Amino acid sequence: MKNKTSVLPGEGEAQPSRCPDNSAFKQQRLPAWKPQLTIASVLSTFFLTGAFCLTVGVCLVLAANSVREIQIDYSDKCSDCSRFRENSSNWNKECHCSVNFTLKEAILGDVFMYYGLQNFFQNHRRYVKSRSDAQLLGRNVKIQRSYCAPFSTYRNGTPMVPCGAIANSMFNDTIDLFYSRNSSVIQVPLLKTGNSWWTDKNVKFRNPESYNLSSAFAGTARPPYWQKPVYLLDEEDERNNGFVNDDFIIWMRVSAFATFRNLYRRVRRVRDFAEGLPAGNYTFRISYNFPVAKFKGRKHVILSTVVWSGGSNPFLGIAYLVSGTAATLMGFVITGIHLKLRKKKTYFQKQ
C-alpha cells in the first residue's frame, strides 16, 4: 500500500495532503469479532440454552404448583340478583346473595382475595383514556378539559367526581367471607388497605386539600352509576376514603385483558387465620351491585396464595420446559448432522 509520507516532499509540507488518515476506523479495519454461524460454533449454545431453560422451567413449575387457589363464579349462583340488576330502576336497591364452598385443606400463608371479571373490556381504547389524572391527583377537582367526556359533567354543568368512564364503571360489589366452624360463623378478617401500589396510593391519587373530604368535593356530583359520592367510599377509614380508596385505586388501574382479576382483600392473619385459611366451610356473602349480564360477563371471587413467581399460572414454567427440551433436542440433531458432515469439507466454489 502507499505510504503517506512519500507524497511530494516539497508540496506535501507546504499544503497538507488530502490523503485520508490511516486510522482503523476510517479504513474500516476496526478489530472485530466475526462469528460464523456454523453448526460447530453454535452447538454449545443450544445445549446451554436447553439446560438453562429446563432448570428455570422446573423451578417455575414447582413454584406455580405450590400455589393454592380457589375460584368461584358467582354470576350464576346469584342469578336472582343478576336479573334484579338487569333492571336499571333498581339501581339503589340492595341485593345480597351467598356462595358456599368447602376447603378440604387449609390454605397456608398469605391469602389474597380477588374479584374476577370476564368479558369486561377494560382495555377498550376509549375506556382506557376516559379518566383525568389531574383530577385524581386532587389538584383540580372540577376539571373541565379532559378525556373524561361524556362522563365529565352533568347537563347542568355539575362536574362528576371522579370523572370518566373508568371511574363510573367501578366494581361495587361487596364481598365478605365467613368461616363456619362448629356451626358458628366467624367473619374472616380482611384487610382493605395496602392492596394497591404504594406509588398510586401516595403519589398518583390524592384527595384535594381541605379541612374535610365532603367540603373538598363540594359542588361536584358522583358519577351516574355510583350509589354514593366519592367521599363516602370508606367512611370508616379517613385514609381510605375519597380518591385514595384502595378499591377505587385498584379499579382505576385498568387491566390488560377482558378477563382479569383485581385484588380485593387480604386475609388478616390473626387468631384462627394466623396460618392462613383453615380447612372447613366458608361462605361468601356478596352484595350484588355490579351488573354483568348485559355484556355476557361473569364475575368470580378468588382466594389464592402468592409465591415469588406470582400466581398459580403454570404457563411460564411449561414454556421454559418446552423450549428447553426443544433446544436440547435440536442440539442433538445438529450434533448428528455435524458428525455426519465433518468428513466432507466444503470448498469455496466457483460460480
Partner 1 sequence: MSQSAAGGEGAPQVLPEGKERQRKRRRRKKKESKTRLVRSSLLLPEVEPDKSKRTVLACNRLKTTKYTALSFLPKNLFEQFHRLANVYFVFIALLNFVPAVNAFQPELALAPVLFILAVTAIKDLWEDYSRYRSDKEINHMECLVYSRNEKKYISRYWKEVRVGDFVQLRCNEIIPADILLLSSSDPDGLCHIETANLDGETNLKQRQVVRRFLELDSEFDPLKFTSVIECEKPNNDLSRFRGYIIHKSGKKDGLFKENLLLRGCTIRNTEEVAGIVIYAGHETKALLNNNGPRYKRSKLERQMNADVLWCVLILLIMCLFSAIGHGLWVWQYGEKKKPIFDVPGPDGKYLSPVLASVYLFLTVIIVFQVLIPISLYVSIEIVKICQVYFIHQDKDLYDEETDSQLQCRALNITEDLGQVQFIFSDKTGTLTENKMVFRRCTVSGIEYSHDDNAKRLAMYQEPDSEEEEAAPKGGTLSQRDSICSHQSIKVIHRSQSTKTHRRTGSRAEAKRASILSKHTAFSSPMEKDITPDPRLLEKVNECAKHLEVMRSHEQPLTHLSPELCDVFDFFIALTICNTVVVTAPNQPRQKVRDRFELKSPVKTIEDFIRRFTPSRLTSGSNSSSSSSLATSKSMHRFGLSTLSSTSTDSTLLKLEEKLAYSAQMNNNGYSSQQGKMAVGGAPEEGELRYEAESPDEAALVYAARAYNCSLVGRLSDQVSVELPHLGTLSFEVLHTLGFDSVRKRMSVVVRHPLTDEINVYTKGADSVVMDLLLPCSSDDPRGKHQKKIRSKTQNYLNLYAVDGLRTLCIAKRVLSKEEYGCWLKTHLEAESSIENREELLFQSALRIEKNLHLLGATGIEDRLQDGVPETIARLRKAGLQIWVLTGDKQETAVNIAYACKLLDHDEEIITLNAESPETCAVLLEQCLQCVESKFSNTIDGATGSMTVGFTPLYPPSSSVLSSLGLVIDGRTLAYALEPALEDKFLALAKRCRSVLCCRSTPLQKSMVVKLVRDKLKAMTLAIGDGANDVSMIQVADVGVGISGQEGMQAVMASDFAIPRFRHLEKLLLVHGHWCYSRLANMVLYFFYKNAMFVALLFWYQFYCGFSGSSMIDQWYLIFFNLFFSSLPQLITGVLDKDVPAEVLIAVPQLYKSGQNMEEYQPHMFWMNMIDAMYQSLVCFFIPYFTYYDSEVDIFSWGTPIITIALFTIILHLAIETKTWTFLHWSSCIFSIVLFFFVALVYNASCPVCHPPSNPYWTMERLMGDPMFYFTCIISPVVALLPRFLYRTLQGTLFPTQLQLGRQLSKLSPETRTQLLTELNVKETICQTRLFADSFSPSLGSNASDCYKANNQSTPLPTSPQTRESLFREHAKAEHKTNQTVAASPPGAVLYEENKLPSSASSMERSMGLHEIRCGTSEVESLPVGTTFPWSSAVDQADFSLLKWITSTPLFSHIGTVLQVSSSSLQNETQDSMCVLGSSLHVDFKGLKEESSNNFQDKMKGTPTDHCKNDNSETTFL
Shorter beta-carbon distance to partner 1: residue 106 or 221: 221
* Shortest reach from residue 3's CB to partner 1, in Å: 7
- At residue 69, φ and ψ (nearest 5 deg) are -145, 135
What nine digits make up the cell of 1? Answer: 500500500
Shorter beta-carbon distance to partner 1: residue 104 or 126: 126
Beta bridge partner(s), residue 187: 178
Shorter beta-carbon distance to partner 1: residue 28 or 184: 28
* Shortest reach from residue 26's CB to partner 1, in Å: 4
Shorter beta-carbon distance to partner 1: residue 172 or 180: 172
Give the containing element (helix H, strand E) for 101.
Answer: strand 96-103
* Shortest reach from residue 278's CB to partner 1, in Å: 25
* Shortest reach from residue 92's CB to partner 1, in Å: 17
Shorter beta-carbon distance to partner 1: residue 50 or 179: 50
* Shortest reach from residue 228's CB to partner 1, in Å: 18
Per DSSP, 115 falls in state: E
Return d(Cα 226, Cα 217) in angstroms, integer.
15
With contact defined as beta carbons under 8 Å apart, do 181 and 277 qualify? Answer: no
Residue 151: CB partners within 8 Å, gap ≥ 6? Answer: 130, 160, 163, 164, 165, 167, 168, 223, 224
Burial of 168 (0-12, 13-18, 19+ CB in 10 A): buried
Name the residue among 196, 195, 178 with its Cα closest to residue 187. 178
* Shortest reach from residue 279's CB to partner 1, in Å: 25
* Shortest reach from residue 38's CB to partner 1, in Å: 5
* Shortest reach from residue 9's CB to partner 1, in Å: 8
Shorter beta-carbon distance to partner 1: residue 217 or 264: 264
Shorter beta-carbon distance to partner 1: residue 129 or 285: 129
Q: At what angle do helices 39-65 and 315-341 cross, to 10 degrees?
A: 160
Shorter beta-carbon distance to partner 1: residue 38 or 98: 38
What are the CB-based long-range contacts (under 8 Å, 24+) for 76-84? 78/286, 78/288, 81/286, 81/288, 82/288, 82/291, 82/292, 82/293, 83/293, 84/288
CA separation, residue 211 to residues 15, 85, 236 (Å): 81, 37, 17
